[in-house]
Structure 1
Amino acid sequence: MEQKINLVFKSQQAHKYTLRKSNARERIEKLKALKAVIIKNEDKIYRALQADLRKSTFESAVTELIFTYGELDFAINNLSSWVKAKRIGKTLSNPFAKNRLYYEPKGVCLIISPWNYPFQLTIGPLISAIAAGNCVMLKPSELSPATSEVVSEIIAEAFDEQEVACFKGDATVSTALLELPFDHIFFTGSTAIGKVVMEAAAKNLTSVTLELGGKSPTIVDKESNLEKAATKIAWGKLVNSGQTCIAPDYVFVHAQQVDQFIELYKAAASKMYFKTADQIDPNIYGKIISLKHYQRLKQLVDEAIEKGARICWGGTFDEQNQTIYPIILTQIPGNAKVMEEEIFGPVLPIVTYQNIEEVIDMVNAKSKPLALYIFSSNRKNVKYIIKNTSAGGTCVNDVLIHISNPKLPFGGVNGSGMGSSHGFFGFKNFSHERAVVFQRALDFNQMIYPPYAGKEWVFKMLKKIM
């Protein structure tokens, strides 16, 4: 495998100079060809997602396919304007020069994708990389093998491997890839592995985009529509069985409303995912990706209970089917791992509060999250929370939906990631912004060249300009 990786990398390193010359029309045709191959393989994709994560066709369509088509169409419709050189304003010190900003491809890029949305989070960055005119080497997750196989087939049909190549396999494949001097690396996954990727990239001074995660808090204030909040949070927490990087990780609810919120959350979750009062519907509700991840989640809950937390709803663990029923935890001590680690499963810790300042302090005590959600009808409270916290992205009176708008940047900050993706922001992420100045025949630059004797007036003029 390592020999194959090196051969393809060498081939792409040579081919990137050809792609550098490609225009918008040529790149658009490649995106259209990719879309056509995806459409052709839709049924295979649905079956693969069912095999890997027990995703229903409807959920796969909404969270994987439709999202991908939207990203493709947005790039196809807007790429011609993205690639154009941008006019940049003049300065007083250089009034006759023409200034332009060019977007040039970075070159050969590595995309390492995760298992939780294994199609969307592989093809999405690829769309941006192709739009920017790059060669790409893809490494899909070995934990979602069925989807990785379909992705590999799609890539092989849509592209020559000197332009886009897919490498399946375990962590040793990722390790071999990370040793190469790529021009850019795009990684989606855990913060721990993100640090490994960044360390490997630093050895070659390779730029990186890291889409990580963290503990995304949800704040429900006293002036929110509690029923709507509970319903939206239940959907955002339980879609894909909680295995979503921007899922509400834990929820702040005012002490006077916590009992009501819990009942509303239980009702909403039951309506969406249960076929009887105590039986989950496996046709709608997904499974945990692997036994290892299932056991990790169970250990998180067990450890919280040992330290004094209380399960006030749920608690059914079905190891044979790798299924964890929705769980609500309350009275969780701050040192429980479930309040320190990203949960990435259908377990919802609820933290009560008396005033919003408490909430701000608790949120800011943790690493900056990938997402923060606010439920409130009080604009003053919303503005206060946004101003006094930091997060990759935020939704007010909803969850997850900010990821669906390709006109918005998506990405983390510090511990939750760096760089942005989607739409123009994804195109820019895989491009180098090159400043170009076209100097006119007439310019004043020689006034600042040595010797300086007799140029005191120039110094005075420059001071006035400054």
Structure 2
Amino acid sequence: MNAIAVKNSVTLETLYEINESSEEQIKAAFSNAREGFQQLKKTTVKERVEALKKVRDVIYENREKIVDKVILETGKSRTDALVSEAMGVLDYADWLIANAPKILADEKAHTPISLMGKKSKIYHEALGVVLIIAPWNYPFNIAMVSILTALAAGNAVVFKPSEITPLNGLIEEMMSASPLLTSSVNVVYGSGITAQRLIDQRPAKIFFTGSARTGKKILSQAANYLIPVELELGGKDQMVVFDDVNIDRTVAGCLWGAMTNAGQSCTSVERVYVQRGIYQAFVDKLKEECAKLVLNAGDDGGADIGGITADFQLDIIRKQVEDARAAGASIIAGGEMLSGELPFYLPTIIENATTDMAVMSEETFGPVITVSPFTTEQEVIDESNNTEFGLSASVWSKDLVRADRVARALEVGAVSINNVMLTEGNPALPFGGTKQSGFGRVKGVEGLRGMTQSKAILVDKQSDKLEANWYPYTRAKYKLFSQFIEALFGNKGLQKWIKFAVSGIKLESESQKPRG
């Protein structure tokens, strides 16, 4: 059984080892999950919400412990870990607890006049055992948001964390607050090999967050089994800045949006487009404020930016910046490692980058932004949409009508206006992308119902009447159906309802006659 070393991402010290899960362990996890699902099927949404409250309270009580563990494995700054990991989960859990019963309740549906006397309903039912595969950049937040959503909807879960930041035992500890949920969540450790084996167990649905490259592999394997998949993949998020903004505030938003979690977020700002009237003033302020950022990890809350979690990601960042420099781009801030051997990459600002450079066309996933000037609204829309990604964006302008117009024109799944990465901060909003950024949504009504399957219900009364569309078909019935259709769809106003009533009565009467 292959051992995988989990390291302190800053010191590179081995914290512990996990083993690649065996076929037997994976089959056992699914067997346990299926048993757990049978228990969940007997519960109401209200009962599951009560169980979620216990987990939510344990997360709150252990938030500093969670932060400590996340920092060790990711290298995040302490404030990043507290706000994005612990607080983000608590906020979402509260929304889920308050709203899940209403969202998952049986719905009344419209019944057309042609089906008079009948009632229509929609049930939102659990899928079964779902597979959740989480990334290394937000190992607690993304894991818990997905797991809690699945459980609220009544699904059992098999969960595979990233082998880079598995948070060994932490998810299990949080779920142990509720016996019902403990038996319904099975954590399986390992690499991509384990993920492949998990898919072969044919879960009811797969929820994957990670790179586009891995997402395509998962989609391909799942297609063999016709397993539905939701993919939240990479981004190359744009920030569009018009010349009527407050420069100080907008620069502050830009820096946080680009550098939070050392830029290791799929929705980090990576491309900044600034209208020419304020371009130079904006760049000057951006460079000035960038120089003030504090890099550290294992801090007490005073550092702005932590380290780069994965060594292969550091290689990507360095290569993109060096290639841009060699191709003629101007590195006006950063562009190198912090002195020493620790994995800290200086916040980097690049001018004169072109679309043929990887730093403009590929996801960087690091503390790096490109800044480009634009003149007209249509120009910046066309330029910022010129990417294979479409996750999220931000638009900055005092003119909210213009900002809304541009937001509608951007080919992305979410837009923050005069703020940055804030759509993720509202649990009621769906989160997901377009194009190569994936499909499907998490959070909000759409995200919760994405963990369910809809069942259509039509209720009729018991009686001795036969339906008009049932056999036997006769020439007389055909003629009456034609009159019925003409009355229903070919007339308007009072005349429609009179003809409908007359033709309907005749058609129903004819339908009760036995075949002659």
TM-score tier after normalising by the smaller chain length: over 0.9
1:35-73: per-residue Cα shift (whole Å, max 9, x none)? 233234333311112212232332222111111111111
Superposed displacement of residue 148, structure 1: 4.2
In structure 2, the CA distance between the partners of 1:274 and 1:21, relative to structure 1 (3 Å rule), is: closer
Describe the SS at the equivalent of 1:317.
coil
Describe the SS at the equivalent of 2:189.
coil
Q: Which amino acid aligns with 2:331?
A: I
Q: Which amino acid aligns with 1:236?
A: G
The equivalent residue for 1:260 is 281
The equivalent residue for 2:203 is 182
**2: CA distance between counterparts of 1:215 and 1:458?**
57
Superposed displacement of residue 334, structure 1: 1.8
**1: CA distance between counterparts of 2:436 and 2:128?**
27
**2: CA distance between counterparts of 1:225 and 1:371?**
22
The equivalent residue for 2:13 is none
Tell me if 1:315 matches 2:335: yes
**2: CA distance between counterparts of 1:92 and 1:264?**
64
Superposed displacement of residue 271, structure 1: 4.1
Q: What is the aligned counterpart of 2:107 among 58, 83, 86?
A: 86
1:351-376: per-residue Cα shift (whole Å, max 9, x none)? 22222222122223322411011011
Q: What is the aligned counterpart of 1:333 among 354, 371, 388?
A: 354
- The count of corresponding residues between Structure 1 and Structure 2 is 460
Tell me if 1:288 matches 2:305: no
The equivalent residue for 1:150 is 170
The equivalent residue for 1:196 is 217
**2: CA distance between counterparts of 1:57 and 1:251?**
27
Q: What is the aligned counterpart of 1:462 among 482, 485, 501?
A: 485
Bigger shift: residues 362-371 or 148-157: 148-157
Tell me if 1:95 matches 2:112: no
Q: Which amino acid aligns with 1:465?
A: L
> Could you say which structure has the greater relative contact order, defined with CA pairs below 8 angstroms and 6 or more residues apart?
1
Tell me if 1:116 matches 2:105: no
After TM superposition, the score normalised by the length of structure 1 is 0.93
The equivalent residue for 2:492 is none
Task: Note the residue ranges of structure 2 that are not aligned, 5 or more in a row.
Answer: 1-21, 490-516
The equivalent residue for 1:278 is none
Does structure 2 retain, via aligned residues, the 8 Å contact 1:55–1:284? no
**2: CA distance between counterparts of 1:388 and 1:424?**
24
Q: Which amino acid aligns with 1:154?
A: M
Describe the SS at the equivalent of 1:102.
strand
Does structure 2 retain, via aligned residues, the 8 Å contact 1:106–1:134? yes
The equivalent residue for 2:393 is 372
Tell me if 1:431 matches 2:452: yes
**1: CA distance between counterparts of 2:321 and 2:178?**
44
1:318-350: per-residue Cα shift (whole Å, max 9, x none)? 372111111110111221111111111111111
Does structure 1 retain, via aligned residues, the 8 Å contact 2:287–2:332? no
Does structure 2 retain, via aligned residues, the 8 Å contact 1:71–1:423? no
The equivalent residue for 1:394 is 415
Does structure 1 retain, via aligned residues, the 8 Å contact 2:54–2:177? no
Does structure 1 retain, via aligned residues, the 8 Å contact 2:108–2:121? yes
**2: CA distance between counterparts of 1:200 and 1:157?**
35
Superposed displacement of residue 444, structure 1: 8.2
**2: CA distance between counterparts of 1:396 and 1:40?**
34
Tell me if 1:166 matches 2:178: no
In structure 2, the CA distance between the partners of 1:424 and 1:98, relative to structure 1 (3 Å rule), is: same
Q: Which amino acid aligns with 2:310?
A: S
Describe the SS at the equivalent of 1:323.
coil
Does structure 1 retain, via aligned residues, the 8 Å contact 2:125–2:455? yes
Does structure 2 retain, via aligned residues, the 8 Å contact 1:92–1:465? no
Q: Which amino acid aligns with 1:211?
A: E
Does structure 2 retain, via aligned residues, the 8 Å contact 1:94–1:444? no
Q: Which amino acid aligns with 1:394?
A: V
Superposed displacement of residue 193, structure 1: 1.2
Q: Which amino acid aligns with 1:457?
A: L
Does structure 2 retain, via aligned residues, the 8 Å contact 1:71–1:127? no
The equivalent residue for 1:298 is 318
User: Which structure has the bigger radius of gyration?
Assistant: 2
1:182-202: per-residue Cα shift (whole Å, max 9, x none)? 101111111111111211221
The equivalent residue for 2:86 is 65
Superposed displacement of residue 382, structure 1: 1.7
The equivalent residue for 1:106 is 127
Task: Note the residue ranges of structure 1 that are not aligned, 5 or more in a row.
Answer: 276-280
Q: Which amino acid aligns with 1:259?
A: Q
In structure 2, the CA distance between the partners of 1:282 and 1:167, relative to structure 1 (3 Å rule), is: farther
Superposed displacement of residue 379, structure 1: 3.0
Does structure 2 retain, via aligned residues, the 8 Å contact 1:54–1:285? no
**2: CA distance between counterparts of 1:127 and 1:162?**
14
Superposed displacement of residue 446, structure 1: 1.9
In structure 2, the CA distance between the partners of 1:274 and 1:56, relative to structure 1 (3 Å rule), is: closer
The equivalent residue for 2:363 is 342
After TM superposition, the score normalised by the length of structure 2 is 0.84
Indicate the percent of aligned positions where both proteins have the same amino acid. 28
RMSD value, Cα: 2.2
